[in-house]
Chains A and B, each alone.
Chain A
Amino acid sequence: MLEFLKQPWPWYVGGALIGLTVPILLILGNKTFGISSSLRHLCAACLPAKIPYFMYDWKKEAWNLFFVAGVLGGAMLAANFLSDPNPLVVAESTKTYLAEKGITDTSALLPAEIFAWENVLSLRGFFFFVVGGFCVGFGTRYAGGCTSGHAIMGLSNLQWPSLIATMSFMVGGVVMTWFILPYLLTL
């Protein structure tokens, strides 16, 4: 059983469990699925600085912080007790392309050539950690949601604004991947 769970799980298992989060949160307490709001609650809790956008009772949304704490803990459990010793299977064409850019280490979920502490203070690190992180936080709040709030919750409820947001996510990602990342990877 444990050996079975240690293999990578197929997409339909992950997809179904993530989809089930929508009704489960609704039934547990009428909560609408969304993760990026947790970043807003953190701002409201730690440094509201009299900014109207952060002047609200974040404790009423504390469930969201309890949820993401669980996500962090679950990932920790999976990485420690259910980890798969084999290297990641990456699509051959992606692998060839990344190898040309010097990214060859597929032993972990993230490439050690980029996401390591020693890169944080380099120019590469500036883009991959600082600019990337900033875009994720700024963009999701500006869009009013992320992959969970818009792509999954919003589309599940057939909301067209969420479809527009999801398409914008994809366009942004494709532009970065095809036109900007090739340069960033050479830094």
Chain B
Amino acid sequence: MCLWPSGLPYCWVFFTRKKFLVRVTSHGVLKMAESEEEVDVLVQRVVKDITNAFKRNPNIDEIGVIPCPEARYNRSPIVLVENKLGVESWCVKFLLPYVHNKLLLYRQRKHWLDREALVDITCTLLLLNPDFTTAWNVRKELLQCGVLNPEKDLYLGKLALTKFPKSPETWIHRRWVLQQILRQFSVVGRSRKQQQQQGEAEQADGERSQQLSDHLARTLHQEMKVCSDAACRYPSNYNAWSHRIWVVQHMAKGNFKVFHDELSSMRLWVSMHVSDHSGFHYRQFLLKELITELSQTPASTTTCSPQHQSSTVPSVNPHHHSDTQANGELSGAEAAGEDERQLSLTTVLHLFHQEMELCSDLIQSFPGHETLWSHRRHVFYLWHQWRREHQHRCSNNGSSESVHLNNSDPGLTEVGAQSCAGRGESVNGQRHASEPMEIDRAPLPDPRDSKRLKRGVLLPAPPGLPCEHSFVSSILDRCSNPEQRRFALAYKKWLDTVMGPQP
């Protein structure tokens, strides 16, 4: 049955290497194709089929090549089943060189293509060969002159990544497109600000700005999804994870909540991908950013750029500090500031503690994974660094890890831990009436906690060097897995030489 409109049959095989064209008739007999023009028509039709498939189903979510060495039926090699777009493999070998050469001839000004043809040809080309940089560049130009919109290109890239999840050029193009979106956003943000200064703020403009910030939040969310999908398709996908870092750095700068949400959602992911070094690195990156943010001095807590303040992604910033007066007395506002600072410090300890605990659990549950031991090094290093940098506010009493947040009154805000080898128990098990923001399914300390802190309630803190040594010993004592032992010994050596000798 012929499924396609009349005209030339689809079942052609082109032996381009020998520069002559052959077709398969309905009886499977090879016949010479009449002319090169016919090939032209046929390939153009396949390109059109691809374009039409996207028109018929705008929700295509995956592409693939269907293994099919020969054209057997008189039907299009483009197959659309539900949301999956397939290309029969027999046609790729002639389709790709054709669209490739067409675009290069256009680039050399030897052959004219109108805008519509350029859009179709680059689409086909990039779905087959997404590292063809110049084809993405052609699309950048089309985008700049308004023929394409940014969402279309993000969508095309997303599809290419379903088949080629590492493709560096696809990720590079995404970053460029996202920058265009961000630029649009900041232009509107600036003009609104100017109008406000002139006292001419208009409601319509406010709505436009709101729409844009909704749009930005949606784009951010979609981008995370694209990264996750690519990370699941290819383990330790460097390009996907470094893109995700770029995205939060550029699209959620200073947005505390986004970083927290990311850390929460990553917890399950890394627990299910214990070999994925890149996924764990992303977690380390988030942790470091959060801790830096929480530890910032009052003077430098201008964390939200104007363009992000109006974002619908709420910007939660639980630490608006104020300086303590020289005489040590605190006004009402200052006392609140001090509370907040203590809360930030508690949060930092909480984050470190939870991370070490997660790491211990995973190391014990999944022995022999270098990634987990490497994660432990990184987190311990971060903790060690942080503690050293905040020595003026924290004093370390040996292995009990009692941390005093204010040297002048150690009893006031003592935060300690009996945590050893990441097995610490939370002493503060009280639940709060209202639901505070969650990190990794455990609530962040509530501001009211600082009152409890003042009463000397102990909160868990991450382990110190002696605890790490006993963690290693406990692994070595119990575990016979040779890989696990090798990594445990390497960690011990790392503690001794990089972190300083055992006291």
- Please say whether chains A and B are actual partners in one complex: no
CB within 8 Å of B: which residues of A? none
Chain B residues close to A by CB (< 8 Å): none
